[in-house]
A and B are shown apart, each in its own frame.
Chain A
């Protein structure tokens, strides 16, 4: 019987899932992805996580619990750094330990250290270590990784075209080909695990699309241009998320197609407290694009978020009509 590998569909899952799933499948494992985030998973996560963790980390715990009794191995790598001289959020460095000491009787965890801070030289060793949990056949691992990388670059191409992970995760991504119907684009900023998880984000992407807006994210921007812009910051942004977000912001404020910017942040996020503030300052200083910050946590009442989204969309549309000298409201004022 093939070995069962569980992958929690949370945190960096949305960035790397084609790579991870293909890799383990090519090695001959049965890959089991945890269920989409739902209230039960969130509840389990909250109950079993240290108190001061942020919502996405709590949700991750819930996903691990969902997999607990279904698999032989759970993939929870210690992702320290994926780019030179940069870090992911500090919570990721301690994630495997946080899980191990909060949840009892877990299956074996693949907690390989992924650290490319100094260079990518140890990539091969990292891949071998992860693959080693499934097979000792070095050639097979190498081959599986090559195939997985191809799948991953196919995925990245789709994202570049404007699809979001919530679209690519569907069986037939072209089934509802109306993602790009609204010409007005809204840039949605934030950590991928917040914006791409429909439960955590209170379905923000779909809510914006329902208003006929096209949603773009950091991932749909050209990485080279993003890096070039990020390099112009006063100081090197040593968080990968921060570099991406701020690079995107600096590109977006010069882009006329983008008519509004929303930053989705989870309550208590240390990175966002810095990145969000720099982003807001830059947007306000160098452009007149509407900007709003939405903060989410474990609450389920959607009224607060909905009010802000509706008002934001109203504002965008109102501005747009105004620029085309069609403002119904101006006519209305002058008629008085």
Chain B
């Protein structure tokens, strides 16, 4: 019987599930598009992973991260629910122990994490603007009719510079259209966009920070070698893109779950068969007070499993009678 740990990262664009053994070796990874339906994506991801793992495994623990981490934890039963920044930091440290800078660009947000001597020392996340994140690249690739996978390699083919405004996604798009109507090559425009994104990232998040090598680039956008090259040129150092760059958050959550289970002795994970359960959500606006909280009711196999979204605790704190044994 193989002993494994699971890490789950439910993000805005992708839902990732990874499997690790007790020695922190990654056994399997899965990257699924969330497509606005985190519950279904996660159910599908876990189901696929279950059939890939076969019968002969024992799950010792599970950790969740990403903007849907609380939802995932409610669905699956998690040993640890961790924010993305800590999870990414832990994962990077596991791969490059002396890492000093982490550039992470995901679907809806981008982060910079600075580490010194193996601890997170400083971080920043994009503020109100999502310019220069994965979903913007996705949109542009779609507009140009290029598969997102080829975006980076096309940028590398560029021979001359085309400057694109990177400060705002709306400006960047109109700038790209103007340049394309002037007759510039598509490769050059794409390369210009990659450079604009890297520049915008460093101006926005790297402002006033010392970005020391080794630098790791992770998150879904790290798969884009055009942007990697742009960062290398701007920073003047090598950028490491780890093998599992797109699922680093899940790896971090998995490592943290392992530590947590070691401390507590047993896992809260409800078992791989949970992938066969049905999940349902209903929401309503509570009318008890003028706050009008949007309360979510979460059902597992037709049983009410949790409620959240209220400020006062009227709904979320109430003990829900449920049959956990049946599920586990």
Contact = CB atoms under 8 A, between A and B. Distances in A.
Interface stretch (A20-28, A154-162, A309-317): A309-317
B292 A311 contact: no
Interface string B31-44: 00000000000000
Interface string B208-220: 1100000000000
A38 B93 contact: no
Nearest to A328: B259
B122 A290 contact: yes
Nearest to A320: B119
A330 B119 contact: yes
Interface string A207-247: 00000000000000000000000000000000000000000
Given A314-B86, A327-B119, A328-B259, A307 B67 contact: yes
Which label, helix, strand, loop or mixed, suits the secondary structure of the A interface? Answer: helix
Given A40-B290, A322-B119, A314 B124 contact: no
Contact of A319 (B24, B121, B289): B121
A292 B290 contact: no
B13 to A, nearest CB: 15
A39 B291 contact: yes
Given A318-B120, A333-B118, A307 B84 contact: yes
A179 B119 CA distance: 28
Contact of B24 (A39, A281, A318, A336): A336
A209 to B, nearest CB: 16
B85 A329 contact: no
Nearest to A316: B120
A100 interface: no
A284 B208 contact: yes
Contacts of A290: 121-122
A295 interface: yes
Contacts of A38: 289-292
A254 interface: no
Contacts of A203: 311
Interface in A1-59: 35, 38-41
A300 B293 CA distance: 9
A303 B67 contact: yes
Interface in A255-303: 267, 280-281, 284, 288, 290-293, 295, 297, 300, 303
Size band of the interface chain B makes with A: 20 to 34
A153 B207 CA distance: 42
Contacts of B186: none
A336 B97 contact: yes
Given A307-B83, A333-B93, A315 B120 contact: yes
A310 B69 CA distance: 13
Contacts of B255: 332
A314 B119 contact: no
Contacts of B144: none
A96 B278 CA distance: 56
B125 interface: yes
A308 interface: yes
A42 to B, nearest CB: 9
A300 B24 CA distance: 38
Interface residues of A, number: 39
B280 interface: no
A4 B118 CA distance: 61
A78 to B, nearest CB: 29
B128 A314 contact: no
Contact of A311 (B24, B85, B94, B293): B85
Contacts, number: 89
A314 B97 contact: no
Contacts of B122: 290-291, 315
Interface in A158-179: none
B290 A35 contact: yes
A35 B94 CA distance: 51
Contacts of A310: 82-83, 86
B123 interface: yes
A332 B67 CA distance: 26
Contacts of A41: 290
B323 interface: no
Contacts of B84: 307, 311
Contacts of B67: 303-304, 307
Q: Which of B83, B121, B123, B124 has the most CB of A within 10 A?
A: B83
B208 A329 contact: no
A333 B293 CA distance: 44
B225 interface: no
B123 A315 contact: yes
A330 B290 contact: no
B90 interface: yes
Interface string B279-307: 00000000001111110000000000000
- Closest A-B pairs by Cβ, 10 of them: A311-B85, A40-B290, A310-B83, A38-B290, A314-B86, A38-B291, A311-B83, A307-B83, A322-B119, A333-B97
Interface of A: 35, 38-41, 199, 203, 267, 280-281, 284, 288, 290-293, 295, 297, 300, 303-304, 306-308, 310-312, 314-315, 318-319, 322, 327-330, 332-333, 336
Given A199-B291, A330-B119, A336-B97, 19 more contacts: A39-B292, A40-B290, A281-B208, A284-B208, A290-B121, A297-B128, A307-B84, A308-B83, A314-B82, A314-B120, A315-B85, A315-B86, A315-B120, A315-B121, A319-B120, A322-B117, A329-B93, A333-B93, A333-B118
25 contacts: A38-B289, A39-B290, A39-B291, A40-B292, A267-B128, A281-B208, A284-B208, A292-B123, A295-B127, A300-B294, A306-B83, A307-B85, A307-B125, A314-B85, A314-B86, A315-B85, A315-B121, A318-B119, A322-B118, A327-B118, A329-B119, A330-B117, A330-B118, A333-B118, A336-B97
